[in-house]
Amino acid sequence: MRKNLRSRAIPKKLRGHILVNHVGLPRYWPIVWESLHAGKLSSTTVSKKLLAIDRFYRFVFERTGKDCLDDLLSQCDYTVIEPLLEAYFVHLRNVAGSAKSTQNFPWQTVLAFIKDILLRNGAQDSVTNRLNAHIRRLDQLYQSLYLGSQAKRSSVRALPPQVLDELFDIVDPRSPSNPFRNDRAKWRNLALFSLFLFQGLRRSEALILPIDAIRSEVSSNGDQTLYWLNIVDNHYEPDEERSLAPSIKTTDSVRQIPISKELVDIIDFYGQNYRGPQDHTFLFSSSRQKPLSHPSVDLIFSCLTDCLSAKAKSELVQKGFPKRITPHSLRHTCAVSRLSQFIDNGEEMEIALQKLRSFFGWSRTSEMPRHYARAYFEDRLKNHWANNFDERSRLLRSLPRSYP
């Protein structure tokens, strides 16, 4: 069973998800695994992996009648572990077939967990060749197996022009089609929308921003002020109370990225006129002056999607996009825009892709930027970004001045 330790009586470094057995005692090897691997992963990813590992523990218990997986791993009892893995694969395949969904993530998670623990525990095994042989056998038998149907076509692309145009009109605080009930919500949602679209932030990254996330300095020649956005964990808040706590995804996601004066003005206008003093330091808050949550952001984007015209919704479906626009849809759009800008400014493709990795918080070896490179070569999108995106940036520039 997965438990979430959130009590303030527990030191912050010891909080988080752990696995316990049927009587509530912590499971030993998952704690070891989490200590060694969790530091490189987001809390959400760790939670998902622990849930997948817990499912295998419960499967072993149901299969053998004993809660014995920790003992089997400690003893490196390959003769029992291998048949259990084979039976679990068959079980997941049946689940994938009946639910018409992939079970590849839980399978690969469990397989990697078993291999890692056997390797670490087997370091003291006097018969090293026997250990290596069993690990190779696991690889040969299971590593290439895939559970579930064929992967769906990826929609890692910019939003269609008509959809984006309508979203700009809807999120404008002056627009009669803006669905949000007061100016405070309208300006907060415009600031969020702009960060997702122009800065390409992930949802969690926006939700952990402190009120002083934006910094500035005078350029070396003294003729302009430069602004940048710090994307890091909020060190002002040692106690996170949100049930789905936002966090930085990986160490590569910690970064500083440039931000335009126009967007700085929008965020400052929201902060100074509508956020007001609160008992937390997060930039974005709910109507109850609590830190904004993941479900609240999802609700905001559901409202924006509902306000789209039937024609725009139809275009989303025809182009293979999800029915609901999400913050990640805007992140995709931003990535296409940034890559187009880099290439049009004379950058070679490989240099442009590396800049994209730095801006969006991907590792130096990540292949994600190459998914966006395909969209760059679609003339329709390229022309749209050359003309429409910058025009909309200038429109946003005038918004704070329209309010006293």
pLDDT of residue 59: 94
Check: CB of residue 248 under 8 Å from CB of residue 39.
Answer: no
Domain ranges of the chain: 2-143, 161-402
Predicted confidence (pLDDT) per residue in 98-113, tens digit: 555 567 888 889 888 9
CB-facing half-sphere around the CA of 363: CA atoms within 13 A: 8
Please spell the DSSP secondary structure of 117-173, one letter per residue. HHHHHGGG-S-HHHHHHHHHHHIIIIIT---SSPPPPP--SPPPHHHHHHHHHHH-T
pLDDT of residue 349: 86
- CATH classification for the domain delimited by 161-402, as one of 1.10.10.10, 3.50.50.60, 1.10.443.10, 2.40.50.140: 1.10.443.10
Indicate the range of 67-76, 144-153, 216-225, 239-248 predicted with least confidence.
Answer: 144-153
Which amino acid does the sequence have at 83? P
Q: Average pLDDT for residues 313-322, to the nearest whole number?
A: 84
Predicted confidence (pLDDT) per residue in 203-223, tens digit: 999 999 999 999 999 887 878
pLDDT of residue 207: 95
Handedness of CA 297, 298, 302, 305 (dihedral sign): positive
Place of tokens 């700085």: 264
pLDDT of residue 92: 84
Residue that wins the pLDDT comparison between 139 and 3: 3
Mean pLDDT, the chain, integer: 81
Residue 345 scores a pLDDT above 90: no
Q: Average pLDDT for residues 361-382, to the nearest whole number?
A: 71
Q: Measured in whole angstroms, how far is the alpha carbon of residue 119 from the centre of its chain?
A: 30
pLDDT of residue 131: 54
Percentage of the chain lying above the pLDDT 90 cut: 36
Predicted confidence (pLDDT) per residue in 96-150, tens digit: 665 555 678 888 898 889 888 887 776 454 444 555 666 566 556 655 555 555 4
Indicate the range of 80-89, 141-150, 251-260 predicted with least confidence.
Answer: 141-150
How far is the C-alpha of 396 from the C-alpha of 2, rounded, in Å? 45
Q: What are phi and psi of 289, to 5 degrees?
A: 60, 35
pLDDT of residue 370: 80
Check: CB of residue 82 under 8 Å from CB of residue 139.
Answer: no
pTM, entire model: 0.68
Residue 154 scores a pLDDT above 80: no
How far is the C-alpha of 239 from the C-alpha of 61, rounded, in Å? 36
Q: Per mean pLDDT, which of 90-99, 173-182, 333-342 is the most reliable?
A: 173-182
Q: Average pLDDT for residues 174-180, to the nearest whole number?
A: 93
